[in-house]
Each structure stands twice: as structure tokens, then as C-alpha cells.
A = this chain, B = another copy of it.
């Protein structure tokens, strides 16, 4: 468990373009602006979104694509380094037109109608993801 404190770096309040893939667009932004560690929050709406969950026994992700209008009611997570590149880990709560909520891990495979992201860069030695045998996930090492 990394416990080093970070300092606040740059802060961004971004509008994502219509038609963008939410996960890919934010990943590209972080790469372009050399953001290696950050906290991220997004609200908005999509016409298509792919979310899922991680099966804790089989160690496999299951994903589902919703091809309908939905609000991004909550979307939060972080940026850290994976194989040397900025990697976004985001979880999202999506609301349908009956206001019912569906949520899980956000995957590539979305179509933004409108979205606003807040990115808080964290300065310091960035967290790095490495394979974790116990969970099968890429988690932050304790270095």
C-alpha cells in the first residue's frame, strides 16, 4: 500500500467532444498533457456505454454494452502508470430514462453525448500498477 503524500498539480475542467469514447478520450488527454497520477471525476451523458464487473473467482471481467441514452450520474477513479503509460481506472454509475441506475467498471466502448471531466493531477512519485497474483488485477505496488 503506497502511502507517500502527493502535492496538488494542475487541475483541468474539460468538455469532451460529442462522439468521443469516454475512456479513450481521457486516456489520450492524460498522455498528451503528461499526467501520470491523478484523481478523476466525470458527469455527462452517453448514447452508448460499456460497463462491467470483475469476477472475483474466475479473475475475468464481464462487460455489457448499453446502446441507449443514459446519464453519466457518477464516474470517478484515478490515473496511474501501467507499463510506463498513464492508465485510467474509472467506475461509473449510469442512469436510464426511468432514472434506474446501472454501474461498474468503465471500459472502452462508449459514445459521449456530452461530458465534463475534472482532473486533479497529483505530483510526486507516481503509483505504478503491477500484476497482483491474489486478485489477478494490476494493482499499485508498495515500492
Interface of chain A, helix or strand or loop or mixed? strand
Q: How distant is A14 from chain B, measured CB to nearest CB, in Å?
A: 6
Interface check A8, CB cutoff 8 A: yes
Within the assembled complex, what's the spacing in Å between the Cα atoms of A116 and B104?
A: 14
Report the interface size for chain A: residues with CB under 8 A from the other chain: 73
A114 and B135 form a contact (CB under 8 A): yes
B43 and A77 form a contact (CB under 8 A): yes
Q: What is the copy number of this chain in the assembly?
A: 3
Within the assembled complex, what's the spacing in Å between the Cα atoms of A57 and B135?
A: 42
B99 and A74 form a contact (CB under 8 A): no
Interface check A67, CB cutoff 8 A: no
B93 and A102 form a contact (CB under 8 A): no
B12 and A3 form a contact (CB under 8 A): yes
A89 and B43 form a contact (CB under 8 A): yes
Interface residues of A (CB under 8 A from B): 1-3, 5-8, 10-18, 29, 33, 37, 39, 41, 43, 45, 47, 51-57, 62, 64, 69-74, 76-78, 80, 89-93, 95-97, 99-105, 113-114, 116, 118, 120-122, 127, 132, 134-135, 137, 139-140, 142
